[in-house]
Amino acid sequence: MGLVIFLSLAGTASAQAPAQPNIHKARAAVHKDIPVMMLAMPGRGILLSAPGEITTITIESNNGVDCGSYLARTDDAGLLEVPVARTPNCPSPRIVIHR
């Protein structure tokens, strides 16, 4: 069971003003009940959670195709930056967090 977070990649043109970040709040109860907050910005997502939490991050396309995954740990402040980019195989990427 994972937490699915959709990212908005609008406003990536350099001539435009920086896009306002989209904030997504979610709560998942897998083996911990730790609130998770995701800040989505063009090209990256920032996960705010408990310090030192280990998560498996998966980038999927909108049709569920796995575009890559890795194991990560939040820093002492509970932050984790996740790079995300559109590719031909992942035209609409989303982040899935497994805990």
Structure tokens at 91: 């035209």
Q: Are 2 and 97 in contact (CB under 8 A)?
A: yes
The string of pLDDT tens digits covering residues 87-96 is: 888 888 888 8
Identify the pLDDT of residue 20. Answer: 54
Q: What is the DSSP string of the chain?
A: -EEEEE-------TTSPPPPPEEEEEEEESS-EEEEEEEEETTEEEEE-STT-EEEEEEE-TT--EEEEEEEE--TTSEEEEE----SS-SS-EEEEE-
Q: Which domains does the chain have, with CATH numbers?
A: 2-12+19-98 (2.60.40)
- Cα distance between residue 45 and residue 7, in whole Å: 7
User: Is the pLDDT reported for residue 1 higher than 70?
Assistant: no
User: Is the pLDDT reported for residue 84 higher than 60?
Assistant: yes
User: Is the pLDDT reported for residue 5 higher than 60?
Assistant: no
The string of pLDDT tens digits covering residues 18-59 is: 555 554 444 443 445 566 777 777 788 888 888 888 888 888
pTM above 0.85, yes or no: no
Q: Which residue has the higher pLDDT, 8 or 34?
A: 34
